[in-house]
């Protein structure tokens, strides 16, 4: 039986990055659209200051009932990190 934290059991990831500021930016954009969103970062990564690999992963979560709406909104925007030429 999988153990799920109660505060996240009805939340799903709609975006994953290793860049926490981008995750916060996306949460703000979703909230401006009326979609409740939050960030989830692996606690071990935060505790040890690791920001690469699985421990550096940052997920943007939305309520299960808002997944389709959030994904549709995110697909209309370009949130990829662009390298300067």
pLDDT in tens, 34-55: 999 999 986 554 555 555 555 6
Confidence (pLDDT) at 14: 96
> pLDDT for 65-81, tens place per residue?
999 999 999 998 765 54
Check whether 83 has a pLDDT greater than 60. no
Task: Note the maximum CA span of the chain.
Answer: 49
- Whether 51 and 70 have beta carbons less than 8 Å apart is answered as no
pLDDT (0 to 100) of residue 18 = 84
Mean pLDDT confidence for 23-37: 96
**Range scoring the smallest mean pLDDT among 16-30, 52-66, 71-85:** 71-85
Rounded Cα distance between 35 and 28, Å, is: 9
Tell which residue, 2, 3, 6, 61, has the closest CA to residue 35: 61
Supply the mean pLDDT for the chain. 78
CA distance 49 to 47: 6
């Amino acid at each position: 039986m999988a153990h799920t934290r109660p505060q996240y059991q009805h939340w799903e990831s709609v975006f994953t990055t290793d860049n926490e500021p981008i995750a916060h930016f996306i949460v703000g954009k979703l909230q401006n659209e009326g979609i409740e969103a939050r960030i989830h970062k692996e606690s071990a990564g935060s505790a040890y200051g690791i920001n690469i690999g699985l421990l550096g992963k940052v997920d943007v979560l939305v309520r299960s009932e808002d997944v389709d709406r959030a994904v549709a909104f995110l697909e209309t925007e370009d949130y990829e990190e662009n390298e300067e030429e």
